[in-house]
A = this chain, B = another copy of it.
């Protein structure tokens, strides 16, 4: 079963803590609007059809996003977040 995000939305999946530690990224827990790291799972049609946006993000990219952005959904035991492309701050390379 898949989630196809509508409009300029993206579906992402949180990266586990141990994995995050290995990557060297630490996100400050005291920050008011805590950013988090996730992996891109699906990209909405409005992004894929936009010449300027489609090259900025692709499935499997690691991204930093604001903690309070988007909506959480659990499917087949896995938790996902659906959010707008504009709520993704950066891609980690």
Task: List A residues at the B interface (Cβ < 8 Å).
Answer: 1-7, 9, 11, 23-28, 31, 33, 35, 45-46, 49, 52, 55-57, 63-64, 66, 71-77, 82, 85-86, 88-93
Contacts and interface: CB of A to CB of B under 8 A. Distances in A.
Contact of A71 (B46, B74, B89): B89
A3 B31 CA distance: 19
**Copies of this chain, how many?**
7
Contacts of A2: 92-93
A27 to B, nearest CB: 6
Given A23-B1, A75-B24, A89 B6 contact: yes
B1 A89 contact: no
Nearest to A62: B1
